[in-house]
Amino acid sequence: MLKITFLGAGSTVFARNVLGDVMSTPALQQCQIALYDIDPQRLEESRQILETINRNVNQSRALIQCYLGVEHRKEALRGAQFVVNAIQVGGYEPCTVLDFEIPKKYGLCQTIGDTLGIGGIMRALRTIPVMEDFARDMEEVCPDAWLLNYTNPMAMLTGYILQNTGIHMVGLCHSVQVCSEQLLQQLGMEDKLEGRRELIAGINHMAWLLSITDREGNDLYPEIRRRAKEKNATQKHDNMVRFDYIDKLGYYCTESSEHNAEYNPFYLKSHYPELIERFQIPLDEYPRRCIKQIKGWKDDSANLLSDAHLTHQRTSEYASHIMEAMITNHPISIGGNVLNTGHLIEDFPQKACVEVPCLVDGSGIHPTYVGSLPPILAAMNMTNINVQLLTMEAARTRKREDIVRAAMLDPHTAAELSIDHIAAMVDELIEAHGPYMAMYQ
């Protein structure tokens, strides 16, 4: 029987989406689902909700089992064909709060802090040791399984595991498949959605919409550039940073403006505070979302748990589509995060983790060659890749000095702080994180 293991199953909403997709897909419905988490309450909530969906959508054809705690992790993984990772090490409290509040003392503002910047570095360094344990268990009990990673920082985690373990892995993001659709909708070009063709490549959260044409093959970028510049000049909206990218760099990128505001030295600048309002940048956005989600979950969970008629419709998340393509050998194309082996993108080192189109079929996931990017886009990506590679190195060596070096190369951090202040901030963060960062000396 097909076995799917979900690591971090206490992420109930996401587990519901991915595993609800599985139970809505005929080729996957007869399966064993192993739910793993370290939080007993959230694990049980997920089990109850998924059992309801299994009855209502899947005629109870899936066998759902729970595994609580590290001591049961190997059994959760044993014999799995697919492993989905959606963990968050350290949670909102204490770790996310520390990632934002300590840098703020040094004058360093952030918006999301889960991909790059000092917040992304810290999140990677406390998550990589846990994921490496996952990978070692997989090498022992399910060596042929595919690990589908949804946890951020995507490039650092995926890159590290692919470089340092022997498992099959791909990193998956939500932003690639909705990138051009949302762009055209925001610019009033909905009539161009059907039949459009596009190419997206780069790195996670900063992959580029390199080309986009309508159904007749006409280039849509000239009109996109005109409308985006006009909208930024005449309206306040929540996508102003990315539209400024179109104006200044010539291309649109996959991830939101609140994310991209902190991946460069351009917008969050203490000497230019007016840029915050000008580009509608929401500082401390991720903690605000966490507070809202934690508060909202109390009501949402009660409603979901009491809904005996709970159902599900398949989403656009890649996971179930990848599983289906591999099981049935019916090929699909996805945007996946993989190592740049063979220089899929010519401009980047082979150890970089890139986001490129990939073919998925019965024999696995096959990244495609992209070639060279426009020089300005490659340069933008490399400022982020430098930090990613140095953070991976710090995770390998477990040395504080390597963490400081990664932070020194971060575009936003370096633009705001001296090296001495960067080092002091890193020391304070490591100390404050306690057991989550105790391995770094």
Distance CA 339, CA 161 (A): 10
With CA atoms as reference, report the closest residue to 400 among 434, 439, 431, 440. Answer: 440
Binning the chain into helix, strand and coil, the percentages to the nearest 5 are 50, 15, 30
Token readout for 208 is 């580029």
The number of CA neighbours under 13 Å toward the Cβ of 92 is 13
Per-residue pLDDT of the chain (441 residues; tens, 9 = 90+): 999 999 999 999 999 999 999 999 999 999 999 999 999 999 999 999 999 999 999 999 999 999 999 999 999 999 999 999 999 999 999 999 999 999 999 999 999 999 999 999 999 999 999 999 999 999 999 999 999 999 999 999 999 999 999 999 999 998 999 999 999 999 999 999 999 999 999 999 999 999 999 999 999 999 999 999 999 999 999 999 999 999 999 999 999 999 999 999 999 999 999 999 999 999 999 999 999 988 887 778 888 888 889 999 999 999 999 999 999 999 999 999 999 999 999 999 999 999 999 999 999 999 999 999 999 999 999 999 999 999 999 999 999 999 999 999 999 999 999 999 999 999 999 999 999 999 998
Give the active site residues.
174
This prediction's pTM: 0.97
Other beta carbons within 10 angstroms of residue 81's beta carbon come to 18
Q: Of 428, 394, 388, nearest to 410 (Cα)?
A: 388
The Cα–Cα gap between 66 and 76 comes to: 8
Distance CA 220, CA 408 (A): 39
- Class of residue 267 by CB neighbours under 10 A (exposed 0-12, middle 13-18, buried 19+): buried
Diameter over CA atoms, the chain = 61
CA distance 83 to 300: 27
Q: Alpha helix locations (H) across 200-339?
A: 221-234, 240-249, 257-260, 274-278, 285-306, 318-328
CA triplet 181, 262, 220: central angle to 5 degrees? 25
> How far apart are alpha carbons 129 and 436 in whole angstroms?
9
Task: Report which residue type is found at 171.
Answer: G
